[in-house]
Amino acid sequence: GAVVSQHPSWVICKSGTSVKIECRSLDFQATTMFWYRQFPKQSLMLMATSNEGSKATYEQGVEKDKFLINHASLTLSTLTVTSAHPEDSSFYICSARRVNQPQHFGDGTRLSIL
Amino acid sequence: KQEVTQIPAALSVPEGENLVLNCSFTDSAIYNLQWFRQDPGKGLTSLLLIQSSQREQTSGRLNASLDKSSGRSTLYIAASQPGDSATYLCAVINAGSSNTGKLIFGQGTTLQVKP
């Protein structure tokens, strides 16, 4: 149980386009979802925390207008990278949890902006 | 501000060896500590979770210990195998963050087990 699916697993797009990444909890209702960014050979950096039905809480230094997060239901959160540029290329990972339960992680999305 | 440090950053051992990965944290007021495994290009798989009131947890060849007062945890891997090659991440939830469940990660230890 506690499976988190992330889609797409890999995306390449041109500079200036917007990219949407989906995170779904397949077999449980996730009250909270987290979005992380990971640079090569580095640890996970928390970008934002989202609770269903409310606005996401962004970590310091993360541009909320650049990285749009929507958590419209208890099983789906989306991260949209708006007007993506090469410096936005990275590995993005989501996780989901129920109240007072551990986080369960998706398999990540490799984003490459040309 | 909580900081989590993992030593060493990389480790290479021959197959069959027992090994220890180290994790330290600066603020002992934690809710729990978790060890994860990350394979290249993949997400995280939880290995062991230790609540703040616990001293250790075991799963198969893995044993994790927690000394909260000294701010340290170790992950012991017995009889290492090439399939254990991965990056191992340690993360804590601060006591004041139990509601949000916000994890604070170390930088990870990349393990290579040579056949």
CA separation for the pair A100, A104 (Å, rounded): 12
CB A53 within 8 A of CB A73: no
Q: Identify the three-state secondary structure at position B17.
A: coil
Best mutation site among B42, B88, B93, B94 for testing chain A: the one with the most A CBs within 10 Å?
B42
Give the per-residue pLDDT at A26: 94
- Please enumerate in sequence order all residues whose Cβ is within 8 A of that of B74, keeping only pairs 6 or more positions apart, or say none: B20, B21, B22, B23, B64, B65
Nearest to A21 by CA among A63, A71, A101, A77: A77
Check B43 against A106: CB less than 8 A apart: yes
Give the per-residue pLDDT at A1: 66
Give the per-residue pLDDT at A56: 92
Interface of B with A (CB under 8 A): 34, 36, 41-46, 49, 89, 98, 100-103, 105-108, 110
Check B42 against A110: CB less than 8 A apart: no
CA separation for the pair A76, A23 (Å, rounded): 6
> What is Dmax (Cα atoms) for chain B?
44
Out of A95, A100, A102, whose CB is closest to B49?
A102
How far apart are the CA of B44 and the nearest CA of chain A, in angstroms? Answer: 6
For the CA atoms of A60, A10, B89, B11, the dihedral, rounded to the nearest 10 degrees, stands at -130
CA separation for the pair A69, A95 (Å, rounded): 13
| Residues in A touching B101 (Cβ below 8 Å) | 32, 97, 100-103
Check A105 against B98: CB less than 8 A apart: no
My answer on whether omega of the bond before B14 falls inside 30° of 0, hence cis, is no
Best mutation site among A11, A52, A71, A103 for testing chain B: the one with the most B CBs within 10 Å?
A103
Q: How far is CA B22 from the centre of its chain?
A: 7
Give the per-residue pLDDT at A22: 97
Residues of chain A scoring pLDDT < 70? 1
Check A49 against B43: CB less than 8 A apart: no
For the CA atoms of B39, B44, B48, B52, the dihedral, rounded to the nearest 10 degrees, stands at 140
Check A43 against B89: CB less than 8 A apart: yes
- A·B CB contacts under 8 A: 48
CB A21 within 8 A of CB A92: yes
> Across-strand partners of A110?
A10, A91
Tokens of B47: 């290995």
Q: What is the pLDDT of residues B19-70, one digit of tens each?
A: 999 999 999 999 999 999 999 989 999 999 999 999 999 999 999 999 999 9
3-state helix, strand, coil in chain B (%, to 5): 5, 55, 35
Given a cut of 80, whether residue B2 has pLDDT beyond it is yes
> Across-strand partners of A6?
A23
